[in-house]
Chains A and B, each alone.
Chain A
Amino acid sequence: MSAVTAEHGHDDHAHGPEKGWLRWIITTNHKDIGTLYLLFALAMFFVGGSMAMIIRAELFEPGMQFVDPKFFNSMTTMHALVMVFGAVMPAFVGLANWMIPMMIGAPDMALPRMNNMSFWMLVAGILLIASTLFMEGGAPAGGWTLYPPLVLQTGKALPFAIFAVHLLGVSSIMGAINIVATILNMRAPAMTLMKMPLFVWTWLITGFLLIAIMPVFAGSVTMLLTDKFFHTSFFDAAGGGDPVLYQHIFWFFGHPEVYVMILPTFGVASTIIPVFARKPLFGYSSMVYATASIAFLSFIVWAHHMFTVGLPISGELYFMYATMLIAIPTGVKVFNWTATMWKGAMTFETPMLFSISFVVLFTLGGFTGLMMSVAPVDFQYHDTYFIVAHFHYTLVPASVFILMAAGYYWMPKWTGHMYNEKIGQLHFWLSAISVNVLFFPQHFLGLAGMPRRIPDYAIQFADWNMVSSIGGFIFGASQLLFLWIVIDTIKGGTGEKVSDEVWEDAHKHGLEWTLPSPVPYHTFTTPPSVIPCDHG
Chain B
Amino acid sequence: MNDEVSVKNKKLGRKLAIFAIAMFGFGYALVPLYDVLCEWKWIERDRPDAIKAIPETAYAIDVNRNINVEFITSLNENTPMVFSSQVPQLLVHPGEYHTVNFYAENKTNKTMVARAIPSFSPALTSTYFEKVECFCFSEQTFAPHEKKIMPMRFVVNPALSADYKTITLSYTFFDNTETAVKNN
- Separation of A107 and B30 alpha carbons in the complex (Å): 41
Residue picked from B16, B49, B121, most chain A C-beta under 10 Å: B16
Known pairs A111-B13, A245-B31, A252-B30; A240 contacts B2 (CB<8 A) = no
- Separation of A315 and B23 alpha carbons in the complex (Å): 24
A115–chain B nearest beta-carbon distance, Å: 11
The total of interchain contacts (Cβ-Cβ below 8 angstroms) comes to 124
**Which of A37-45, A179-187, A368-376, A500-508 makes up part of the contact surface?**
A179-187
Number of A interface residues in the complex (CB < 8 A): 51
Quick check: A185 and B5 within 8 Å, CB to CB? yes
- Separation of A220 and B24 alpha carbons in the complex (Å): 9
Quick check: B2 and A248 within 8 Å, CB to CB? no
- Separation of A234 and B29 alpha carbons in the complex (Å): 12
| Residue numbers in B under 8 Å from A176 (CB-CB) | 16
**Closest residue of chain A to B10, judged by CB?**
A111
| Residue numbers in B under 8 Å from A237 (CB-CB) | 48, 117, 119, 172, 174
Which residue in B9, B20, B123, B124 is a CB contact (below 8 Å) of A215? Answer: B20
- Separation of A214 and B19 alpha carbons in the complex (Å): 11
**Closest residue of chain B to A178, judged by CB?**
B13
Residue picked from B9, B17, B25, B76, most chain A C-beta under 10 Å: B9
| Residue numbers in A under 8 Å from B26 (CB-CB) | 215-216, 219
Quick check: B16 and A180 within 8 Å, CB to CB? yes
A204–chain B nearest beta-carbon distance, Å: 12
Contact with A along B113-125 (1 / 0, CB 8 A): 0010101011110
Quick check: B17 and A177 within 8 Å, CB to CB? yes
Give residues of chain A (213-266) contacting chain B, Cβ–Cβ below 8 Å. 213-220, 223, 231, 234, 237-240, 242, 244-245, 248-249, 252
Contact with B along A166-195 (1 / 0, CB 8 A): 000000010011101110111000000000
Quick check: A238 and B10 within 8 Å, CB to CB? no
Contact with B along A312-335 (1 / 0, CB 8 A): 101100000000000000000000
B44 CB within 8 Å of chain A: yes
Contact with B along A283-295 (1 / 0, CB 8 A): 0000000000000
Which residue in A10, A217, A239, A242 is a CB contact (below 8 Å) of B179? Answer: A239
A459 CB within 8 Å of chain B: no
A32 CB within 8 Å of chain B: no
**Which of A1-9, A74-82, A135-143 makes up part of the contact surface?**
A1-9
Quick check: A149 and B77 within 8 Å, CB to CB? yes
B79–chain A nearest beta-carbon distance, Å: 10
Give residues of chain B (47-63) contacting chain A, Cβ–Cβ below 8 Å. 48-49
Quick check: B24 and A248 within 8 Å, CB to CB? no
Which residue in B20, B76, B122, B182 is a CB contact (below 8 Å) of A149? Answer: B76
Give residues of chain A (104-128) contacting chain B, Cβ–Cβ below 8 Å. 107-108, 110-111, 114
Number of B interface residues in the complex (CB < 8 A): 46
B12 CB within 8 Å of chain A: yes
- Separation of A311 and B38 alpha carbons in the complex (Å): 10
Which residue in B5, B23, B27, B44 is a CB contact (below 8 Å) of A186? Answer: B5
Known pairs A213-B23, A238-B174, A249-B30; A5 contacts B77 (CB<8 A) = no
A402–chain B nearest beta-carbon distance, Å: 26
| Residue numbers in A under 8 Å from B6 (CB-CB) | 10
- Separation of A249 and B124 alpha carbons in the complex (Å): 22
- Separation of A312 and B55 alpha carbons in the complex (Å): 28
- Separation of A245 and B43 alpha carbons in the complex (Å): 10
A310 CB within 8 Å of chain B: yes
SS class, residues of chain A in contact with chain B: helix
**Closest residue of chain B to A114, judged by CB?**
B13
**Closest residue of chain B to A233, judged by CB?**
B179
SS class, residues of chain B in contact with chain A: helix
- Separation of A112 and B114 alpha carbons in the complex (Å): 56
A153 CB within 8 Å of chain B: yes
- Separation of A155 and B145 alpha carbons in the complex (Å): 29
A211 CB within 8 Å of chain B: yes
| Residue numbers in B under 8 Å from A181 (CB-CB) | 9, 12-13, 16
Quick check: A219 and B27 within 8 Å, CB to CB? yes
Quick check: B117 and A216 within 8 Å, CB to CB? no
**Closest residue of chain A to B9, judged by CB?**
A110
Contact with B along A376-412 (1 / 0, CB 8 A): 0000000000000000000000000000000000000
Known pairs A11-B1, A238-B115, A240-B48; A177 contacts B179 (CB<8 A) = no
| Residue numbers in A under 8 Å from B3 (CB-CB) | 8
- Separation of A310 and B120 alpha carbons in the complex (Å): 10
A residues contacting B by CB (< 8 A) are 1, 4-5, 8, 10-11, 107-108, 110-111, 114, 149, 153, 173, 176-178, 180-182, 184-186, 211-220, 223, 231, 234, 237-240, 242, 244-245, 248-249, 252, 310-312, 314-315
28 pairs from A and B in contact (CB 8 Å cutoff): A1-B2, A4-B2, A8-B1, A8-B2, A8-B3, A11-B1, A110-B5, A111-B10, A149-B77, A178-B13, A186-B9, A211-B23, A212-B19, A215-B23, A216-B30, A219-B27, A223-B31, A238-B76, A240-B49, A242-B45, A244-B45, A245-B30, A248-B34, A249-B27, A310-B44, A310-B122, A310-B123, A315-B42
| Besides A176-B16, A180-B16, 17 other A-B contacts (C-beta < 8 A) | A5-B2, A11-B1, A110-B13, A111-B13, A177-B17, A177-B20, A186-B1, A214-B20, A215-B27, A216-B26, A216-B30, A237-B172, A238-B115, A240-B48, A244-B45, A312-B42, A312-B124
